[in-house]
Amino acid sequence: MAFKVKKAQRENVFVKIALMGASGSGKTYGALRLASGMAEELEKTLGRKARILCGNTERSRGVYYADQFDYDIVDLEKPYNPEKYIEFIEFAVEEGYDILILDSTSPEWEGEGGCLELHALAGGKYQDWAQISPRHEKFLKAIEGSSIHIIATMRGKDQYDLEKDDRGKLTVKKLGVGAKQREGFEYEFTTTFLIDQKTHVAEAQKDNTGIFDSQVGTVLDEGYGRRIIKWATGGEAPSSQTMFKVRPQEVVDEENAHFENMMKTIKEYAMSLNDKGEMDKYNQVVARYFGEGKRVSEATIEDIKALEDVLDELQKITQ
């Protein structure tokens, strides 16, 4: 077997960030601050305004901060099965969003229609996970492989501890250690934070960026969002595709098929007009969109909008 060796080079990446914490720890607010800072830094690379989309499962909480941040929102309704999340991620990519907030991913596991409920409906036995686990894994792969920056929040597990205040009084502290998701789910991300409910300080549980390695904890803000994007765009762009413009393969295939069908149809119209001795009408239409002396056969997939306009005019002429 032959192996091709090449020099390893750092590439740009789409970061995936996980925020875990108990209710009231500030996951949504922290996600929006991070996303806003990321968007600011992205604009320097994109040359346009970066767009943020929030997938909201937290009822009205998703719009609590609409007066502080610039973002679009979609309310995700039950059932919260893995396929709904996968479809939403694909939607965000296809619609050209740059940053996606999944707030939260916990319903995919424990919510109505989530994996735990699906498992129970399948029979509730250990072997029944064979039907459900692949669906959950596809959701995880959709996050990992998507060409968009993702911030996913997860509800913390309800764990408590006794804590003494300055006067020695014992109080109960909600820890929210770990995530209400499948075991180990949170460690599949670029960076994973556990946010304290009382102080809103985020502690990195895992950090591939190296930004948070030396920090005991921090309050997530726009500045960290900018630093994350600087890290993500610090390498060479992938040779086969341009950063921030990667689309799902099925979208590319669909466009190619559409392009080929249009080229074939335009050729048929040209032959029909030629048989009628009206080729000058065809040439005039082509010249309007491609310039004098240009041929449609020289068009590429980048000319798809012009081809649609040419086809539209030819249809009117031959009616």
Q: What is the pLDDT of residue 197?
A: 83
Angle of the 82-94 helix axis to the 129-145 helix axis, nearest 10: 20
Q: Yes or no: say if 233 and 10 are a contact pair by the CB < 8 Å rule.
A: no
Q: What is the pLDDT of residue 176?
A: 47
Structure tokens at 51: 């767009």
Q: pTM (2 decimals)?
A: 0.68
Looking at the domain assignment, is residue 10 inside a domain?
Answer: no
**Are residues 53 and 91 both part of a single domain?**
yes
DSSP assignment string, 152-199? EEEEBP--EEEEE-TTS-EEEEE---SBSSSTTGGGGSSEEEEE-TTT
Q: What is the pLDDT of residue 252?
A: 60
Structure tokens at 55: 């997938």
pLDDT, one tens digit for every residue, the chain (319 residues)? 678 888 877 778 899 999 998 888 899 999 999 999 999 999 988 889 999 999 999 877 778 899 999 999 999 999 999 999 999 999 999 999 999 999 989 999 999 999 999 999 999 998 898 999 999 999 999 999 999 999 999 987 755 455 656 666 655 554 445 667 777 787 789 999 999 888 889 988 888 888 887 767 788 999 999 999 999 988 544 443 333 334 455 656 677 777 788 888 888 888 888 888 888 888 888 888 777 777 777 777 667 777 888 888 888 887 7
Looking at the domain assignment, is residue 7 inside a domain?
Answer: no
Structure tokens at 241: 């595709």
Domain of residue 179, CATH code: 3.40.50.300
Q: What is the pLDDT of residue 301?
A: 65
**Are residues 124 and 97 both part of a single domain?**
yes
Please give the Cα distance from 296 to 307 (Å, whole number).
8
Looking at the domain assignment, is residue 6 inside a domain?
Answer: no
**Are residues 79 and 226 both part of a single domain?**
yes
**Are residues 189 and 271 both part of a single domain?**
no
**Are residues 258 and 184 both part of a single domain?**
no
81-101 b/e (C-beta count within 10 Å ≥ 16 → b): bbebbbebbbebbeeebbbbb
**Are residues 38 and 83 both part of a single domain?**
yes
Q: What is the pLDDT of residue 175?
A: 47
**Are residues 93 and 196 both part of a single domain?**
yes
Domain encompassing residue 300:
249-318
Of 201, 232, 263, which one is at a domain's C-terminal end? 232
Please give the Cα distance from 40 to 62 (Å, whole number).
21
Residue 231's H or E segment, with its range, is helix 222-232
Looking at the domain assignment, is residue 69 inside a domain?
Answer: yes
Please give the Cα distance from 268 to 24 (Å, whole number).
64
Of 172, 202, 232, which one is at a domain's C-terminal end? 232
**Are residues 131 and 205 both part of a single domain?**
yes
Q: What is the pLDDT of residue 299?
A: 76
Looking at the domain assignment, is residue 77 inside a domain?
Answer: yes
Of 191, 207, 232, which one is at a domain's C-terminal end? 232
Number of folded domains that form the chain:
2
**Are residues 262 and 170 both part of a single domain?**
no
Looking at the domain assignment, is residue 244 inside a domain?
Answer: no
Looking at the domain assignment, is residue 93 inside a domain?
Answer: yes
**Are residues 220 and 291 both part of a single domain?**
no
Q: What is the pLDDT of residue 177?
A: 55
As separate numbers, helices (DSSP H) first and strands (DSSP E) second, the chain gives: 9, 9
Q: Yes or no: say if 190 and 152 are a contact pair by the CB < 8 Å rule.
A: no
**Are residues 146 and 35 both part of a single domain?**
yes
**Are residues 220 and 282 both part of a single domain?**
no
